[in-house]
Amino acid sequence: MVNVKVTERSKAIEYAIRDVIVNAGQITKTGKKMFYLNIGDPVAFDFPTPQHIRQALIEAVQSGNNNYSPSEGVLELRQAIVEKEKRVNGVHVFADNVLITSGVSEGIRMLISSLIEKGDQILVPGPPYSPYMSYSKVYDGTPVSYETVEEENWQPNIDDLRSKISETTRAIVINNPNNPTGALYRTKTVKQMLDVAGEHDLLVLSDEIYDQIRYVEDYVSTAHLAKDLPVVGLNGFSKVYLMTGWRLGYMYFYDPNGELQELKKAVEKEQRIRICASTPAQMAGIAALRGPQDHVKELVEKLRVRRDYAWKRLNEIEGVNCAKPEGAFYVFPKICDVGSKWKTDMEFAVELLKETGVLLVHGSGFDPVYGAGHVRAVFLPPIEILEQALNEIERFIKKK
């Protein structure tokens, strides 16, 4: 008998967004109609990857760009990212300070593994995007969530953020626009968060994957506001450029005083271990950034209609309260009867799935404190699909 011992580290890994699919396995076999509102993949619905980006991938493959590329990424793509960040976000960085990753999640892992040692803490928005929690734990650190206030459209509580800083805090994460809440942090709020980071000499990690998917105008990139404070920005092509399955992302080091070069070198070492991001996908990424941008406005306007419908419809259901999303494509409603009719939000989500085929993500899977009692849903499907799914949710809640 082979003695295989699985590490405690691996047992502790959680990713609620996909973990919930396990519960759907047996249900799909029954032939029940399913409503997949759990994963933020616009390409799975009626948001196809733009033709010029698809064509660029085909041409890259056919012209022989199928070899390993530099571990840090194709230089032309890194230069295109510099242009994009200046044009879209008013952030000035150099190509040497841009690194290409296989999606933002890989960038998160590389950064956290380079920053966190046993006993260290990282401050994350409550609730955060799951990998910030999971990877912090994997690398023997402690994620600490700072409050974001639901009644204020999930804006960060600056006093709470400040109160949770300790001697072991290594970084503050800003996820703006936010996943899972759909919050858009106000410019004033981001400035205050940067002030707190400056007071305590803390690095800021700014996840801006949804930077161009927003429904109000009060948005400014963190690095644009940072002045002389260092910021590591994380971004990618999955959401805005509709390239989810292509796994292409990037990080940049906004480093006005040269304080981040040791961290950058550590991340580069991790990049060498995994060889490189997909070379053909990187060539298509150049076309995405330098080609037509018309689809972005169309994407946002289409999503705005679905956002308005889903938000209004959810608030019409007795026992459901939902803040209005101002960015990304998620709603994060509170299920008021969690704690009475249902013991937990997980129980609510599982029972809902079994009875209706509607697949949501339980809020405590993002954060056991600030996510509890909530569920996350995407509003990516067409209105007629959203209507059917929300009708099922209402019937289920009324029945109980």
Concatenating the DSSP letter of every residue in 358-376 gives EE-EEGGGT-TTTSTTBEE
| Same domain, residue pair 109 and 78 | yes
- pLDDT at position 322, please? 98
- If you ran DSSP here, which 8-state letter would residue 72 be given? T
| Same domain, residue pair 119 and 179 | yes
**Under 8 Å between Cβ of 295 and 145:** no
| Same domain, residue pair 74 and 157 | yes
How far is Cα of residue 267 from the mean position of the Cα atoms in its chain? 20
- Give 209's contacts (C-beta < 8 A, 6+ positions apart): 104, 179, 234, 235, 236, 238, 239, 240, 249
- Which neighbouring-strand residues pair with 362? 375
User: d(Cα 6, Cα 11) in Å, to the nearest integer?
Assistant: 7
User: d(Cα 362, Cα 267) in Å, to the nearest integer?
Assistant: 32
User: d(Cα 105, Cα 131) in Å, to the nearest integer?
Assistant: 7
- pLDDT at position 211, please? 98
| Same domain, residue pair 102 and 173 | yes
| Same domain, residue pair 35 and 84 | no
Instruction: Please state the domain count of the chain.
Output: 2
Supply the range of the domain harboring residue 38.
Answer: 8-48+295-399
- If you ran DSSP here, which 8-state letter would residue 100 be given? E
Q: What CATH number did the domain enclosing 252 receive?
A: 3.40.640.10
Q: Hey, is 334 helix, strand or coil? A: strand
User: Final residue of a domain: which of 265, 290, 315?
Assistant: 290
In degrees, rounded to 5, the angle at the alpha carbon of residue 358 between the alpha carbons of residues 27 and 389 is: 140
pTM of the model: 0.94
Q: Where are the alpha helices (DSSP H) in the chain?
A: 8-11, 16-19, 21-29, 51-62, 75-84, 104-115, 130-138, 158-163, 187-199, 222-226, 261-273, 279-290, 294-315, 345-356, 383-399
Closest alpha carbon to 327 in 95, 121, 155:
155
Residue 1, in any domain of the structure: no
Closest alpha carbon to 306 in 243, 394, 225, 377:
377
Q: Render each residue's pLDDT in the chain as its tens digit; 400 residues.
A: 888 877 777 776 766 655 666 666 667 667 778 999 999 999 999 999 999 999 999 999 999 999 999 999 999 999 999 999 999 999 999 999 999 999 999 999 999 999 999 999 999 999 999 999 999 999 999 999 999 999 999 999 999 999 999 999 999 999 999 999 999 999 999 999 999 999 999 999 999 999 999 999 999 999 999 999 999 999 999 999 999 999 999 999 999 999 999 999 999 999 999 999 999 999 999 999 999 999 999 999 999 999 999 999 999 999 999 999 999 999 999 999 999 999 999 999 999 999 999 999 999 999 999 999 999 999 999 999 999 999 999 999 998 6
Residue 2, in any domain of the structure: no
| Same domain, residue pair 238 and 347 | no
- pLDDT at position 56, please? 98
Considering all CA atoms of the chain, what is the largest pairwise distance in Å, rounded to the nearest integer? Answer: 62
User: Final residue of a domain: which of 268, 290, 312?
Assistant: 290
Which phi and psi angles does 115 have, rounded to 5°?
-105, -30
DSSP string of 186-254, one letter each residue: -HHHHHHHHHHHHHTT-EEEEE-TTTT-BSSS----HHHHHTTS-EEEEEESTTTTT-GGG--EEEEEE
Residue 309, in any domain of the structure: yes
Residue 171, in any domain of the structure: yes
| Same domain, residue pair 118 and 254 | yes
| Same domain, residue pair 247 and 323 | no
User: Final residue of a domain: which of 260, 290, 320?
Assistant: 290
| Same domain, residue pair 267 and 154 | yes
Residue 3, in any domain of the structure: no
Which residue has tokens 């249902």?
342
- Give 355's contacts (C-beta < 8 A, 6+ positions apart): 396
